[in-house]
Chain A
C-alpha cells in the first residue's frame, strides 16, 4: 500500500511537469509531420517560459495588483507564449524552407538563440522590477488551479493522478485529441503528412509544400512554447529561474520519438517521462545515484527506438523526409 501510495503521489506530481512536456512534444510532432526537424524546441520552450510570465506580469503591474483578472492573465500568458514560439517557427521555416539551410544546424542555433533571448529578457525584467519576476499570489493560484470537482479527485488511485491537475493539463489533452483528429481525419492533415513523408509526391499532386511546412512549423513552435509557459507558471510557481527549464525541450524531442509521432500517445507518455524525471525525489532507492535516475527518460527513449527499428513496422517510422529540405528542381 505504501509503495502504491508513493507511485500515486509520483504520478500526480508528474502531471504538472508532464503537461509542459506534452505541449512541447505535440508542437514538435506537428512540426516534424511536415518534414521539418526543429531541434530548437529547447530554445522555443525557454522563450515561451519567460514571455508567458512577462505578459501577465506586465498586465498586473499596469492595472494594479488587485484589479488583474485571472482569466485575462492566463489568456495573455498563452497568447504571448504562442506568439513568441510561432515567431521562432517562422524564423526556422524562413531559414530552412526559403533559404534552404541545413535543418540540424538551424535547429541547434535556434536552441542557443532561444535560451539566450529568454535569459536576456528575464534578466532585463528582473532589473526593472527589482527582485524576482513573479506574480501576485492571487494570480499564482489561478495559474495552478485544480479545476476538477472534489468528488472526482477522491476516486482512489486515478482520482489523484487524473483529476487533481491544473487547467493546463486538460487543455493539453484537448489539444492532443484535436491534433490527432486533424492528422488522421482531415484532408489538410493527410496533405501535411504527405508533405512530411514524400514532398516530391505532394508537390507533384499540387500541394503547396512551402505553405504546409511554414504553417505546421509556426503553429508547432507556438504549441511547444506554451509548454515552456506552463512549466514556469505551474512547476516553477510563476517565478523565473533561469536554469530550471534546462533540458525540457530536449526531453520533448526524445518524447516525439517515444510517441512514434502520435499526439494521443504523447498524453500518457509525457506523464510517464515527467514521473521518470522526478522519481529521484519520490521513490528513493538507497545508494542509487540521482544522476542515474535523471538519465532514465533517455534510456527509455533509446530502448523504444531500438525496439521500433528492430520490429521495423512501417507505420511507426519517422516521416520519411524528416530533416531533408525540399527544392523542386534539385532531385
Chain B
C-alpha cells in the first residue's frame, strides 16, 4: 500500500519571537498506524501538531495530504481535510450538553439533536465506548469529557486523529480503555498521532515513534525495535539513567501525625473521611488515588487552606507537639512549620502569570525584611539558580512565566518550593506534564530533601514512579484511606485495586 501515507510534513519551521519552536521538521503520518510523538517539554510537539489542526501556521515549510500540498489556515480547514485534534485541555463548553458540543461548528448540520444522538450512538458502538449525549459537560468525569472530545472528532469524519497527552488525567483502567478504542480506530484504517511523555505507554500502544528534541526532528523508529532506554537517549540526546535512587535515611522519626481527619466541602459532601496516617522524616510518603479522591483536600487541610471538620494534625518538633488544626496558613508557618506546596493548578494557584521568574520567587519571601522597599537581590539569585539547575527555557528571569511552556512553568514552581527547604514538603503532581529528563531531576531533588531529613508527601499519578520513588504509599479512595503499603514490596496491581475500592477487596468499578 503506497497510499498509506496520510500526512507529510516537509521542512516545517515555526518561531515565536526569538524562540524557535520547530526547526525544519519532516514527518510522515500513516493510515492504520499509531504514531507516538515523543520529546521533552518545549521540544515543539504540541506546536507542530497545532499547525496540523490550524491553530498555528508555519513560518515556512509544506504540508501534504495524500500527496497534495495543502494550506491549513484555520481549525475549519483542518476538519475539512479530516484532521481532528484532541487537545490536552479539553475544548468543551461546560454548560452545553454533549450533543450540543458535538455539533458545534458543523456547517450542514440542522439543530436536530435527536438525529445527532443517533449518530453519536452509532460511533460509540463502532469503537466501543459509551456516552450520554444529553448529559451536561460539567456533570462529567475527566475521562467522559475526553470521550466526548474523541466522539466530536469522529463525528466530523476525521481520518487523522491527534491526541495531546490523553492519558495525563486518566486512571490506569481508563487508560487501558482508551487504548482499546485507539486500537479499534487503527483497525478502521485511521491515522493516529499520540503525544505522550509516558514511555511505558509509548511501548504498549504505538507502531512507530517520532522523536523531537529542542524543536528539531531527530528521527522515527519502529516501536518493536525500541526500548525505554533507547527512546530516552534519543529524546534527551545523551545517555540518561532511568533508575530512581532510593537511599535509606537512618534517623527516621514521626514528623506529622494525622488522626481522624475529616473535611466537608461547601456542598456538604465529605471529601476526607477519618483519614489517619503519619509522615516521617527522611521518608517520601506517596499518595495514590484516582483524581479527586481527596488528594487536594488533604494537602490543603494540612496547609490550613481547607476548613477542617474533625480530627487532628500534629507537627512534631523534637519533644513538642504542635496542633495545626485551627491555625491560619500564616500561623502554621510562624510556629516554624515550613511547607512547600505545589498546587494542582500551577498557573491558577502557584504563580503570577504576567510576572517573571524573579517576581514569582519573591511571592514566597515578601514578608522578609523590614524595609518598605522589597529586596530584589535574593529572589533574583534564587531565580537564576532555578533557571540553571532545572534548565528552564526562558530568555531571561524577567520573562513572564505565562508565556513559557507548561513544563517550564512547572519547573519554576517546583524549584521555588524546594529551594525553601521546608521540614515538611508537600507536593501535588510535581511532574505533571514534565518530560522525562526534568521529571528525574525533580525526583532527585525530592530525594535530596528526604536525605536532609525532610518529611516529603508526594501526590502522584504514575504508579510506576510512586513505586520507585516512595518509601511508603498511602492510597486514597473516595476520601478514605484505602491502605498504606510499603513501596518496596507492593505491586502496581495491588495499588490499582486499592485505588478503586477501600481495602481492595470488592470488585473495581469506576
By a beta-carbon cutoff of 8 Å, the part of chain A in contact with chain B is: 185-187, 190-191, 193-194, 197-198, 200-207, 312, 314-315, 317, 320, 328-329
Q: Residues of B contacting A328 with CB < 8 Å? A: 55
- 8 further A-B contacts with Cβ under 8 Å, apart from A185-B111, A206-B105, are A190-B111, A191-B105, A193-B96, A198-B94, A204-B53, A206-B76, A207-B104, A314-B95
Q: Which of B55, B93, B138 has the largest count of A CB atoms less than 10 A from its CB?
A: B93
- A-B pairs, top 10 by smallest CB distance, nearest first, are A205-B105, A206-B76, A201-B91, A206-B105, A205-B104, A197-B93, A204-B91, A207-B105, A204-B75, A198-B93
Q: How far is the CA of A198 from the CA of B109 in the complex (A)?
A: 21
The answer to whether A315 touches B95 (Cβ under 8 A) is yes
B377 interface hit (Cβ, 8 Å): no
Pairwise interchain contact B94-A190, C-beta atoms closer than 8 A? no
Q: Does B110 contact A (CB under 8 A)?
A: yes
Q: A310: shortest Cβ distance to chain B, in Å? A: 9
- Chain B, residues 402-424, CB within 8 Å of chain A (1/0): the string is 00000000000000000000000
**Do B94 and A202 touch across chains, with their CB atoms under 8 A apart?**
no
* Interface contact B111-A206, CB-CB below 8 Å: no
Interface string of B70-96 (1 = CB under 8 A from A): 000011100100000101010111111
Tell yes or no: B56 within 8 A of A by CB.
yes
Asked whether B55 lies within 8 Å of A194 as measured between CB atoms, the reply is no
Q: 5 A-B pairs, CB-CB below 8 angstroms?
A: A187-B109, A187-B110, A197-B96, A204-B53, A312-B267
A195 to B, closest residue via Cβ: B93
Number of residues on chain B facing chain A (CB within 8 A) = 29
> How many A-B contacts are there with CB distance less than 8 Å?
71
In the complex, A96→B457 CA distance in Å? 45
- Does more than half of chain B's interface fall in helix, strand or loop, or is it mixed? loop
B136 at the interface (CB under 8 A from A): yes
Q: How far is the CB of A27 from chain B (nearest CB, A)?
A: 22
Report how far A75 CA is from B100 CA in the complex, Å.
Answer: 38
Cα-based distance from A315 to B139 in the complex (angstroms): 12
Task: For A198, list chain B residues within 8 Å (CB).
Answer: 91-94
Chain A hits for B93, CB < 8 A: 193-194, 197-198, 201-202
| Bound form: Cα–Cα A320–B92 in Å | 12
Tell me whether A202 and B111 are in contact in the complex, defined as CB-CB below 8 angstroms, given that A194-B93, A315-B95, A329-B56 are known contacts: no
Q: Please determine whether B104 and A202 come into contact, CB atoms closer than 8 angstroms.
A: yes
B85 partner residues in chain A, CB cutoff 8 A: 204
A205 B91 Cβ-Cβ under 8 A:
yes
A186 contact set on B, CB distance < 8 A:
111
Q: Give bound CA distance, A185 to B112, whole Å.
A: 10
Task: Tell me the bound Cα distance from A203 to B53 in angstroms.
Answer: 11
Report Cα–Cα, A197/B136, bound state, in Å: 14
CB distance from B150 to the nearest CB of A (A): 14
A190 touches B104 (CB 8 A): yes
B89: chain A residues at CB < 8 Å are 200
> A204 and B96: CB pair below 8 A?
no
Q: Which residues of B contact A187 (CB under 8 A)?
A: 103, 109-111
For the complex formed, measure the closest distance between the CB of A108 and the CB atoms of chain B, giving whole angstroms. Answer: 22
Beta-carbon contact of B92 and A202 below 8 Å: no
Pick the contact of A201: B56, B92, B110 (CB < 8 A). B92
A67→B121 CA distance, assembly (Å) = 66
Question: Once the chains bind, are B136 and A314 in contact (CB under 8 Å)?
Answer: yes
- Min Cβ gap A251→B in Å is 26
Contacts of A317 in B (CB 8 A): 95
CB distance from A182 to the nearest CB of B (A): 12
Q: Most B CB atoms within 10 A — which of A186, A202, A203, A205? A: A205
Q: How far is the CA of A317 from the CA of B95 in the complex (A)?
A: 9
Contacts of B79 in A (CB 8 A): 206
Chain A residues within 8 Å of B100, by CB: 190
Q: Which residues from chain A contact B53 at a C-beta distance below 8 Å? A: 204
A328 to B75, CA, bound (A): 11
Residue of A nearest to B78 (CB): A206
A210 to B306 Cα, complex, angstroms: 41
Q: Kindly name the residue among A185, A200, A204, A328 whose own CB sees the greatest number of chain B CB atoms within 10 A.
A: A204
A197 to B101, CA, bound (A): 12
Residues of chain A within 8 A (CB-CB) of B110 are: 187
- What's the minimum C-beta distance from A126 to chain B, rounded to whole angstroms? 48
Min distance, Cβ A87 to any Cβ of chain B, angstroms: 29
Q: How far is the CA of A197 from the CA of B138 in the complex (A)?
A: 13
CA distance A197 to B55 in the complex (A): 19
How far apart sit A202 and B101, CA to CA, in the bound complex (Å)? 9
In whole angstroms, what is the CA distance A312 to B53 when docked?
35
Which residues on B sit within 8 Å (CB–CB) of A312?
Answer: 267
Name the distance in Å between B77's Cβ and chain A's nearest Cβ.
8
Closest B residue to A319 by CB, please name it: B95
CB distance from B317 to the nearest CB of A (A): 40
Tell whether A201 pairs with B138 under 8 Å between CB atoms, given A185-B111, A315-B95, A328-B55: no
Residues of B within 8 A of A315 (CB): 95
* CA of A328 to CA of B87, assembled, Å: 14
Known pairs A185-B111, A202-B104; A197 contacts B56 (CB<8 A)? no
Contacts of B378-403 to chain A: CB distance below 8 A: none
Inter-chain contact A203/B111, CB cutoff 8 Å: no
Query: Within the complex, what minimum Cβ distance (angstroms) separates B78 from chain A?
Result: 8
CB–CB A203/B94 < 8 A: no
| With A197-B94, A198-B93 as contacts: A191 and B104 at CB distance below 8 Å | yes
CB distance from A253 to the nearest CB of B (A): 22
